[in-house]
Structure 1
Amino acid sequence: MAMTNDHSISEFIETTDGCRIIRKAPTPSVTKDDILRFRKLCEDNLCGNYRTSWTCPPYCGTMDECMDKINSYRYADILVRDFQGYDIENEKEMEEMMDSFRSECRNIKCKLIEKGADVLALADGPCRYCGENCSVKIDKECPSPDKQLPSVSGYGVDMERYIRSLGESFGFSKDRITLYGIFLFK
């Protein structure tokens, strides 16, 4: 079977109500100012994940490394999933929903790698592949770097600006949340 450099997440997703794919979007535009702004939010640790995951700041790479990595990719497929009926103020419910979405993104990434894709997948929040027991906490290398799912914020991606630049609406409401997984391809 001949390998192609034209990959898509569409073969691994059953689009249903609340799920769609934005195919072959331009890669996100990331500046040092973006990364500084988001990393400042990370350092403020409002989400409680600063210094707790290899995929969040300060361990996800330097500003230059993150910018260079994103800029080395040609296009992106974006998984857009709407979640209805979740209470944005219910922290446990939100965490479960986000963990489920990150797991879906990770599974897609692994299937793409199996097919020969050179893919960088980004999602909201920390990786959580190892649950709360990320090896960064005990100063050990990541045992599963191929399963890592870096944080969009750590890479300085302004999701609102990015999604709107694609002609899409962006926003949250009390009972509807939209999550995005970015899959960057070479």
Structure 2
Amino acid sequence: MNKQTEIEKDLAQLPILEYVFFKPEEIIFAKEVRDLCEGNGCGMYNTNWACPPAVGSIETCREKCQAYDKAMLFTTATEMASSFDMKGWMDARVEHEALTDQVADVFRRYDKNALILSTEGCTVCKKCAYPDAPCRFPECMYPATEGYGIMVMQMAPALNISYNNGANTVTYFSMVLFNE
């Protein structure tokens, strides 16, 4: 049995909405995504190890991703009271990150060097050690897909994954890169 088959058995036990395996060469990188980070759209730019500039240039991120054999994109979707339910968005993100921890555990059983990318930068520590000291919890810190310059909005439909799961829902994405 191959590694992907074993991983899929383990993933079947988790509340993942959708997932797909693909080749890292299929990842869509876009300067526009990184520009949003640099414009400080989410407020995380230059504040932690999971976001730019700490993650490196888009080219560096591309090289990191393409050094792996395989990738997997997965989602969660959460219904909310309304599309303006900011507390619902944050709660859904916390749940997604907890699931990302579980997915990371699965992959790291098969490849201890798997690269885990997730949402909006790291919030593990109340105050990040960046830039004065190394990350205190590198095994828990997942760089943001957006910080890597990855255009999830275009990738999802190309990989037959729903980007939008309906009115009053929030969909979060994480990506895992691993070697077979």
TM range (shorter): 0.7 to 0.9
Q: What's 1:26 paired with?
A: 23
**Distance (whole Å) between structure 2 residues aligned to residue 62 and residue 112 of structure 1:** 26
**Distance (whole Å) between structure 2 residues aligned to residue 135 and residue 92 of structure 1:** 27
Secondary structure of 1:103's partner?
A: helix
**1:134 pairs with 2:128:** yes
Q: What's 1:100 paired with?
A: 95
CA separation of 1:86/1:126 partners in 2, compared to 1, >3 Å: closer, same or farther?
A: farther
CA separation of 1:48/1:81 partners in 2, compared to 1, >3 Å: closer, same or farther?
A: same
8 Å CA contact 1:10, 1:21 repeated in 2: no
Q: CA RMSD in A?
A: 2.4
Q: What's 1:125 paired with?
A: 120
Alpha-carbon deviations, 1:139-168, whole Å to 9, x = none? Answer: 221011122111011111100111111133
Secondary structure of 1:179's partner?
A: strand
**Distance (whole Å) between structure 2 residues aligned to residue 50 and residue 100 of structure 1:** 23
**Distance (whole Å) between structure 2 residues aligned to residue 73 and residue 151 of structure 1:** 17
Q: How many residues align?
A: 176
Q: Which runs of 5+ in 2 are unaligned?
A: none
Report percent identity of matched pairs: 20
Alpha-carbon deviations, 1:25-74, whole Å to 9, x = none? Answer: 2324344xx1x212211122121111222011111122221010111122
Q: What's 2:152 paired with?
A: 159
Q: What's 1:11 paired with?
A: 10
The two structures have a TM-score, normalised by structure 2, of: 0.83
**1:63 pairs with 2:62:** no
Q: Which runs of 5+ in 1 are unaligned?
A: none
Q: What's 1:73 paired with?
A: 68
